A and B are shown apart, each in its own frame.
Chain A
Amino acid sequence: MAVLVDITKCIGCEGCSVACKMYNGLDFKAKPRNIKDGHLELDDNRWTVIQEFHTANDDLRFVKKQCLHCLEPACASACFSKAIQKDEKTGAVVYYPDLCVGCRYCMVACPYSIPKYQWNEQFPQVAKCQMCESRLSKGDAPACVSACTTGALISGDRDELIKKAHEIIASDSRYVNHVYGEHEVGGSEWLYISDVPFEELGFKQVSDTPVTNYSKSYLSKVPFFAAGWALFLAGLTYYNHRVEKNKKNQDDENKDKED
Chain B
Amino acid sequence: MTNKISRRKFLKVVAGSGVVGFGVMAAGCKGDPSGAQGWIPDQYQGKGDFPVNLKGRVAISQDNPSIERDDEKCILCGQCVEACKNVMGVYGNYPLPLKNEVACVGCGQCTIACPSGAITEKRNIQDVLAAIDDDSKHVVVQTAPATKVSLGEEFGMEPGASVGKKMVGALKEAGFDAVFDTCFSADLTIMEEASEFVHRLTKAKDEIPHLTSCCPGWVKYCEYFYPELMHNLSTCKSPQNMMGATIKSFYAEKKGIKPENIINVSIMPCTAKKFEVGREELQVDDQRDMDYVLTTRELAVLLKHKGIDLNNVAESEYDSVLGESTGAGKIFGATGGVTEAAVRTAYYLATGSNPPADLLSWQPVRGMKAVKEANATIPGVGTVNIAVCHGLENARQLLNGIKEHGSKWQFIEFMACPGGCIGGGGQPKSSEPDIKQKRIAAIYKEDTSSAKRCSHDNTEIQSIYKEFYGKPLSEKAEKYLHTSFVNRHDRLF
A→B interface (CB under 8 Å): 7-9, 11-15, 17-19, 21-26, 28-29, 47, 58-62, 81-82, 85, 94-99, 125-127, 130, 132-135, 138-141, 143, 145-150, 154-155, 174, 195
| Chain A to chain B: the 4 pairs with minimum beta-carbon distance, closest first | A146-B48, A98-B31, A149-B56, A25-B37
* B36 pairs with A141, CB closer than 8 A: no
Q: Mark B93-105, 1 if CB is under 8 A from A, else 0.
A: 0001111111000
What would 21 A/B residue contacts be, using CB atoms closer than 8 Å?
A: A8-B96, A8-B97, A13-B59, A18-B76, A21-B71, A22-B76, A23-B39, A25-B35, A25-B36, A25-B37, A59-B99, A82-B25, A96-B32, A130-B33, A133-B33, A134-B36, A135-B36, A143-B48, A147-B44, A147-B76, A149-B56
Chain A residue nearest in CB terms to B24 = A99
The reply to whether A60 and B98 form a contact with Cβ atoms under 8 Å apart is yes
Which interface residue of A8, A82, A135 has the most chain B CB atoms within 10 A? Answer: A135
Residue of A whose beta carbon sits closest to that of B41 = A22
Give A211 to B143 CA distance when docked, in angstroms.
Answer: 66
Q: Which of A59, A130, A155 contacts B34 (CB 8 A)?
A: A130
- Determine whether B450 belongs to the interface, using a CB cutoff of 8 Å to chain A: no
Complex contact B57–A15 (CB within 8 A): yes
* Bound-complex Cα distance A98 to B102 (A): 43
Is B477 an interface residue, CB under 8 A from the partner?
A: no
Q: Mark B34-68, 1 if CB is under 8 A from A, else 0.
A: 11111110001011110000011111110000000
Q: Which of A22, A139, A149 contacts B47 (CB 8 A)?
A: A139
Chain A residues closer than 8 Å to B30, beta-carbon distance? 82, 85, 96, 98-99
Does the CB pair A147–B97 fall under 8 Å?
no
**Interface status of B358 (Cβ within 8 A of chain A):** no
Interchain CA distance A19-B57 in the complex, whole Å: 11
B interface vs A, CB < 8 Å?
Answer: 21, 25, 30-40, 44, 46-49, 55-61, 71-72, 74-76, 78, 81, 96-102
Partner of B33, one of A23, A95, A147, A174: A95
Give min CB distance, A244 to chain B, whole Å: 16
Contact among A59, A145, A148 for B98, CB-based, below 8 A? A59
A224 to chain B, nearest CB (A): 16
**Is there contact, CB below 8 Å, between B47 and A23?**
no
A94 lies within 8 A of B58 (CB): no
CB of A107 to closest CB in B, whole Å = 15
Name the distance in Å between A91's Cβ and chain B's nearest Cβ.
14
Contact A99 B74 (CB under 8 A): no
Min C-beta distance of B488 to chain A, whole Å: 14
Q: A135 and B56 in contact (CB under 8 A), knowing A96-B30, A98-B30?
A: no
Report the minimal beta-carbon distance from B90 to chain A, rounded to whole angstroms: 11
Name B96's contact: one of A11, A29, A126 (CB within 8 Å).
A11
Select which of B35, B57, B74 is within 8 A of A47 by beta carbon.
B35
Instruction: Provide the residues of chain B in CB contact with A60, threshold 8 Å.
Output: 98-102
Chain B residues in 8 Å Cβ range of A28: 71-72
> Are B31 and A99 in contact (CB-based, < 8 A)?
yes
Is A150 in contact with B96, judged by CB distance below 8 angstroms?
yes
CA–CA, A82 and B28, complex, Å: 10
When distances are taken between beta carbons in the complex, the residues of chain A under 8 Å from B37 are 24-25
Residues of A within 8 A of B35 (CB): 23-25, 47, 130, 132, 134
Q: Are A95 and B48 interface neighbours, CB within 8 A?
A: no
- The residue of chain B having its C-beta at the shortest distance from the C-beta of A24 within the complex is B35
